[in-house]
Amino acid sequence: MAKTVFITGITGQDGAYLAKLLLEKGYKVYGGYRRLSTPNFWRIEELAIKDKISLLEVDLLDSGNLIRTLNETKPDEVYNLAAQSFVAVSFEKPVLTGQVTALGVTNLLEAVRIVNTKIKLYQASSSEMFGKVQEIPQKETTPFYPRSPYAVAKLYGHWITINYRESFNIFACSGILFNHESPLRGIEFVTRKITDAAVRIKTGKQDCLEIGNLDAKRDWGFAGDYVRSIWMMLQQNKPEDFVIATGEAHSVREFIEQAFQHAGFYIEWRGTGVDEKGIDRKSGKVLIKINPKFFRPAEVEFLCGDSSRAREKLGWKPEVTFSELVQMMVQSDLKRMEKNNN
The runs of H, that is alpha helices, within 74-222 are 87-92, 94-97, 104-115, 149-168, 190-202
Q: What is the DSSP letter of 314?
A: I
Minimum Å gap between C-beta 54 and ligand F7E is 26
Listed in order, strand segments (DSSP E) in the chain are 4-8, 28-33, 54-57, 77-80, 120-126, 172-177, 180-181, 209-211, 217-218, 221-222, 242-244, 250-251, 267-270, 277-280, 286-290
Instruction: Indicate the residue among 17 and 265 with the shorter CB distance to ligand NAP.
Output: 17
Stretch that binds ligand NAP, among 11-19, 191-199, 298-306, 314-322 (CB under 6 A): 11-19
Instruction: Indicate the residue among 213 and 279 with the shorter CB distance to ligand NAP.
Output: 213
Minimum Å gap between C-beta 239 and ligand NAP is 18
Work out what residue 186 binds among ligand NAP, ligand F7E, none; the CB cut-off runs from 5 to 8 Å by kind. Answer: ligand NAP
Report d(CA 291, CA 45) in Å as an integer: 34
Minimum Å gap between C-beta 40 and ligand NAP is 5
Work out what residue 245 binds among ligand F7E, ligand NAP, none; the CB cut-off runs from 5 to 8 Å by kind. Answer: none
- Is residue 273 within 8 Å of residue 295, measured between CB atoms? no
Residue 247 touching ligand NAP (CB under 6 A): no
Amino acid present at 111? A
Q: Radius of gyration over alpha carbons of the chain, in Å?
A: 20
Residue nearest ligand NAP (C-beta atom): 12
Report d(CA 281, CA 243) in Å as an integer: 40
Report d(CA 87, CA 29) in Å as an integer: 29
Counting every residue written for the chain, the total comes to 342
Q: What SS3 class is residue 269? A: strand
Minimum Å gap between C-beta 124 and ligand F7E is 8
Chosen residue from 4, 13, 106, 213 binding ligand NAP by CB under 6 A: 13
Residue 12 touching ligand NAP (CB under 6 A): yes
Residue 246 touching ligand NAP (CB under 6 A): no
In terms of C-beta density within 10 A (0-12 exposed, 13-18 middle, 19 or more buried), how is residue 340 classed? Answer: exposed
Residue 1 touching ligand NAP (CB under 6 A): no
Instruction: Indicate the residue among 85 and 246 with the shorter CB distance to ligand NAP.
Output: 85
> What residues line the site for ligand F7E (CB under 6 A)?
85, 87-88, 126-128, 178-179, 188-191, 193, 211-213, 216, 218, 252, 294, 296, 299-300
Query: From residue 40 to residue 69, what is the string marking binding to ligand NAP with x (rule CB under 6 A)?
Result: x------------------xxx--------
In terms of C-beta density within 10 A (0-12 exposed, 13-18 middle, 19 or more buried), how is residue 339 classed? Answer: exposed
Distances from the Cα of 75 to the Cα of 17, 61, 65, 172, 326, angstroms:
19, 20, 15, 14, 36
- Residues that bind ligand NAP (rule: CB under 6 A) add up to a total of 25
Instruction: Indicate the residue among 133 and 263 with the shorter CB distance to ligand NAP.
Output: 133
Residue 81 touching ligand NAP (CB under 6 A): yes
Work out what residue 3 binds among ligand NAP, ligand F7E, none; the CB cut-off runs from 5 to 8 Å by kind. Answer: none
Catalog residues that contact ligand NAP under the rule CB under 6 A: 8-9, 11-15, 34, 36, 40, 59-61, 81-85, 100, 124, 126, 177, 179-180, 186
